[in-house]
C-alpha cells in the first residue's frame, strides 16, 4: 500500500471503533497500538514498532503498559499470520495462547481436483 492509502486506512479505523495509543522515547514516536474494545474483549488490530527500534524491548514494554495501565481486565485477542513466526513467538512470550486456526484455499488452487 502507498503512504496515502495507509493514512486513509488508519483514519477510517480511528473514526470507527478503533482507538490508538502512541508510544514515544526521547520525544520520538517508536510504536503504536491500534485496538477496539467490545463488551467481552479487547482486540489488538496492530502493534507496530519502528523497524530501527525492533528487538529492543519496546513491544514488550508497550504491551505491559497496555495490559496494566490502559486496558481493563478483559479477554485479549490478536490475529497473527501463521507464517509470521517472529510475531507468534512474541505474543506467546507475553502470555497469549493459540485459540483458533483459519485455513484457506486460494481461488487458483480450486481448479485443481481435491484429494478426497
Domain boundaries, the chain: 3-109
Rounded to two decimals, the pTM is: 0.83
pLDDT of residue 104: 86
For residue 78, give the nearest of 48, 44, 47 by alpha carbon.
44
For residue 75, give the nearest of 37, 20, 109 by alpha carbon.
37
List pLDDT tens digits, range 57-74. Answer: 999 999 999 999 999 899
Superfamily of domain 3-109: Gcn5-related N-acetyltransferase (GNAT) (3.40.630.30)
Question: Count of alpha carbons within 13 Å of 30, Cβ hemisphere only?
Answer: 17
Amino acid at each position: 500500500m502507498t503512504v496515502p492509502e495507509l493514512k486513509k486506512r488508519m483514519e477510517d479505523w480511528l473514526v470507527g471503533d478503533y482507538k490508538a495509543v502512541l508510544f514515544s522515547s526521547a520525544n520520538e514516536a517508536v510504536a503504536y497500538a491500534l485496538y477496539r474494545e467490545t463488551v467481552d474483549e479487547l482486540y489488538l488490530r496492530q502493534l507496530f514498532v519502528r523497524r530501527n527500534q525492533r528487538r529492543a524491548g519496546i513491544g514488550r514494554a508497550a504491551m505491559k503498559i497496555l495490559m496494566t495501565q490502559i486496558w481493563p481486565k478483559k479477554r485479549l485477542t490478536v490475529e497473527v499470520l501463521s507464517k509470521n513466526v517472529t510475531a507468534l513467538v512474541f505474543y506467546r512470550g507475553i502470555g497469549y495462547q493459540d485459540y483458533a486456526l483459519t485455513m484457506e484455499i486460494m481461488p487458483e488452487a480450486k481448479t485443481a481436483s481435491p484429494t478426497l
